[in-house]
Amino acid sequence: MSAVGTVGVIGGGAWGTALASVAARAGRPVRLWARDVKTVEDINRHHENRMRLPGVALDAGIVATRSLEETCAADVLILAVPAQAVRGVAQEMAGVLPAGRPVVIAAKGIERGTEAFMSDVVAEALPQAVPAVLSGPSFADDVAHGLPTAVTLACADEAVGRTLVEAIGYSAFRPYRSSDLTGVQVGGAVKNVLAIACGVVVGKALGASAHAALVARGFAELTRFGRALGARPETLSGLSGLGDLVLTATSPQSRNYSFGVSLGRGDTVDTILGGRKAVTEGVWTAPAVVDRAAKLDVEMPICAAVAAVVAGRASVDTAIEALLSRPFREEH
């Protein structure tokens, strides 16, 4: 792959907007596709995404558009819509994306119904793309404000991976290269589900010891699942795995964690989701993780508890009771 000129970002949410800022800071002309007309107007007129990333001044070189074709003409694409929307958007892109273009998947989750990882969804819906995955501990707000961040960027083709790192990396946004797409996606998907569980523990005031235990046992689940899928251990304990779990499972800035805190305080799933515009990926990925893990015969009791609570099959108290009643066992 030759040097990168323009970057096209697909998705006008907080993360797409933050990544557009990153690419602009890395010196790339950026085109950002958003479905929502108000977002497009906002970015072009006011250089701000007031709906999804308020208070962040955007580089005037970022041009927003509703034309997928225009955006897909860029040298590199970043796909930053919510995980459950990736297939539909990728199918739309299929008609306009030139062959051989790298598509960096920035969504974190597993597709419901198929239990597919995002790179598999893209491989099916957008076969002409060269898939890559960007994931790691990185809140959109931090990244957009230029605070230091390190992430993992995985691509099976090493040369393309290097070019992508050069295309979007700059001093405060540091992508580490990897070829382990599976491992990177396992971390990004599972940590959101575990962050909900950790939020519940905090919302119910079960104590810092319980919170730490849940992070560690959650990481054991994430690792078991990843190993069964062929992920590399060093990926799971790296930025996109343990790194992102630590961030998301402990910070009120996280939408998944704060969703869990509200659940723990007694709010219902419908009330919490009804009151927020931003996506809470763990809610949608929890059942997909559990179904995929069952097929692999991998035990994931914390993820199963979250899936049961969000589906209304168990109350928070019943789910906690069930976890605390499990037999004692060897630690692994």
Ligand X SMILES: NC(=O)C1=CN([C@@H]2O[C@H](COP(=O)(O)OP(=O)(O)OC[C@H]3O[C@@H](n4cnc5c(N)ncnc54)[C@H](O)[C@@H]3O)[C@@H](O)[C@H]2O)C=CC1
Ligand Y SMILES: O=C(CO)COP(=O)(O)O
Check if 191 is active-site: yes
CA distances from 310 to 137, 214, 321 (A): 24, 18, 16
CA-nearest of 277, 279, 280 to 50 is 277
Sole binder of ligand X in the list 4, 9, 13, 287 (CB under 6 A): 13
Sole binder of ligand Y in the list 83, 197, 244, 264 (CB under 6 A): 244
CA-nearest of 280, 278, 248 to 263 is 280
Tell me how far apart the alpha carbons of residues 285 and 262 are, in angstroms, rounded to a whole number.
19
Q: Is residue 111 at the binding interface for ligand X, with CB under 6 A as the rule?
A: no
Q: Is residue 126 at the binding interface for ligand X, with CB under 6 A as the rule?
A: no
Sole binder of ligand Y in the list 195, 263, 310, 316 (CB under 6 A): 195
221 is in an annotated binding site: no
H helices present in the chain, as ranges: 14-25, 37-46, 68-71, 86-94, 118-125, 140-144, 158-168, 181-203, 208-228, 233-236, 244-248, 255-264, 269-274, 281-296, 301-310, 316-324
Q: What share of the chain is helix, strand, coil (3-state, %, to 5)?
A: 50, 15, 35
CA-nearest of 193, 89, 187 to 135 is 187
The residue whose two tokens read 């819906």 is 125
- Are 8 and 40 spatial neighbours (Cβ–Cβ below 8 Å)? no
Q: Report the SS3 class of residue 129.
A: coil
279 is in an annotated binding site: yes
Sole binder of ligand X in the list 7, 9, 12, 320 (CB under 6 A): 12
Q: Output the smallest distance, CB 137 to ligand X, in A.
A: 9
280: exposed, middle or buried (C-beta count within 10 Å: 0-12, 13-18, 19+)?
Answer: buried
Q: Output the smallest distance, CB 331 to ligand X, in A.
A: 30
What part of residues 270-299 is at the interface with ligand Y (CB under 6 A)?
Answer: 281
Q: Total binding residues for ligand X by CB under 6 A?
A: 27
> With CB cut-offs between 5 and 8 Å by kind, which of ligand X, ligand Y, none does residue 201 bind?
none
16 is in an annotated binding site: yes
Q: Is residue 256 at the binding interface for ligand Y, with CB under 6 A as the rule?
A: yes
Considering the candidates 191, 204, 277, 295, report the single residue annotated as catalytic.
191
Q: Output the smallest distance, CB 198 to ligand X, in A.
A: 16
Sole binder of ligand X in the list 1, 4, 7, 14 (CB under 6 A): 14
Catalytic residue IDs: 191
Site for ligand Y, rule CB under 6 A: 108, 137-139, 192, 195, 244, 247-248, 254-256, 281
Annotated binding-site residues for substrate read: 108, 255-256
Residues that bind ligand X (CB under 6 A): 11-16, 34-36, 52, 80-83, 85, 88-89, 106-109, 138-140, 278-279, 281
